[in-house]
Chains A and B, each alone.
Chain A
Amino acid sequence: MTMGIRQWFVLYRKEQLELVRSYKLLWVPLVFILYGAMQPVMSYFLPDILAHAGNLPPGAVISIPKPTASEVMAQTLGQFNTIGLLILSLSVMGIISAERSSGLTSMILVKPISYLSFVAAKWAAMALLVIIAFAGGFGAALYYTTALFDSVDWLNSLYAYLLFSLWLCLAGSLTIFFSSWLRSGAAAAACSLGVAALLALTASAFPHALAFSPGMLPQLAYSQYGAAASEGHLAASVATTIVLILALQFAASTLLRRRPSIDAL
């Protein structure tokens, strides 16, 4: 067992180095910071932007109700649920399939290494990227919302951050799973985004039947900011998500064991 942990750690160091060498650890957090700040700034300047857009009769008064700080934070999370997921999936998609097509995986896996620690190392690197990037994005959103609107509750924000990080980790796990199954990275990204969207859609369509679905996570995160109170059971959703993440890793390692390399056909 200790052997397995040590093996995992060596592989994890390799993955971490890869994150740095491919500049992912730099550009993904920067992009997240920009997107996190964009929503509060845009909401704040919206009346000005509309006023300068012209084509209004003179004397017309635009009155847009200024959104509350909580509403702005909930909207920002909504942004991350689209753009954030997309960028994350696209940056993670090559994590296994690119190595497999270049034959690197079969070279690594010739050595007596358990497939599970190989996948788990990749997963841990992905989780690190998610946690750092989303901390940047969420921090920027929180900073601008507090500066331009009003302060928001710290504890609720922490819960929202953790819940949404878990949701992003699930999306990343889906990408890794499809990445070890499918030949093309783009297909892996598309499939994982599709499954994530499906989870979220079904959960919002059948909130009672699927109260503990992982798809409830984004809604649970929004509801920290007093958006429509969701029907979800927080603890149950978190538990099923963690189980699903583990199951995806086992499935990915099983798939790799069957077909470690893709023969160039």
Chain B
Amino acid sequence: MDQLTTTQLMTIILPLAVVQLVLMITAIVVCARAEQTRGPKWMWILIILFFSLVGSILFFLVGRKQS
């Protein structure tokens, strides 16, 4: 196992962090703009913020009401 420099580590981790951030921000925006969510809106925002990946997936799967 060769030692990685910080730069190399960043090039590995950074794109994934960006993708996850985009997913999270999308979920928060959709949640904030939704007319109705299944359950209180502030709860969903907290879930998305605290469990970013799983929380966003959960919100998209069960949090949105069919308009």
Q: Which residues of A contact B (CB under 8 A)?
A: 22-24, 26-27, 30-31, 33-34, 37-38, 41, 44, 47-48, 87, 90-91, 94, 98, 102, 144, 147-148
A47 to B12, CA, bound (A): 16
Interface residues of B in 24-39 (CB under 8 A from A): 26-27, 30
Q: Which residues of B contact A (CB under 8 A)?
A: 1, 12-13, 15-16, 19-20, 22-23, 26-27, 30, 53, 56-57, 60-61, 64, 66
Closest 6 CB pairs between A and B? A30-B23, A27-B60, A90-B61, A47-B1, A33-B19, A37-B16
Interface SS, B side:
helix
- Closest chain-A Cβ to B56's Cβ sits at a distance in Å of 7
Residues of A contacting B26 in the complex (Cβ-Cβ under 8 angstroms)? 23, 26-27, 30
Interchain pairs with CB closer than 8 A, number: 46
16 pairs, A vs B, C-beta closer than 8 Å? A26-B26, A27-B27, A30-B22, A31-B23, A31-B53, A31-B57, A34-B23, A37-B15, A41-B16, A44-B12, A47-B1, A94-B66, A98-B66, A102-B66, A147-B12, A148-B12
In chain B, what residue has the closest Cβ to A64? B1
A76 to B66, CA, bound (A): 33
A148 to B13, CA, bound (A): 12
Residues of B contacting A33 in the complex (Cβ-Cβ under 8 angstroms)? 19
- Closest chain-A Cβ to B16's Cβ sits at a distance in Å of 6
A42 to B40, CA, bound (A): 35
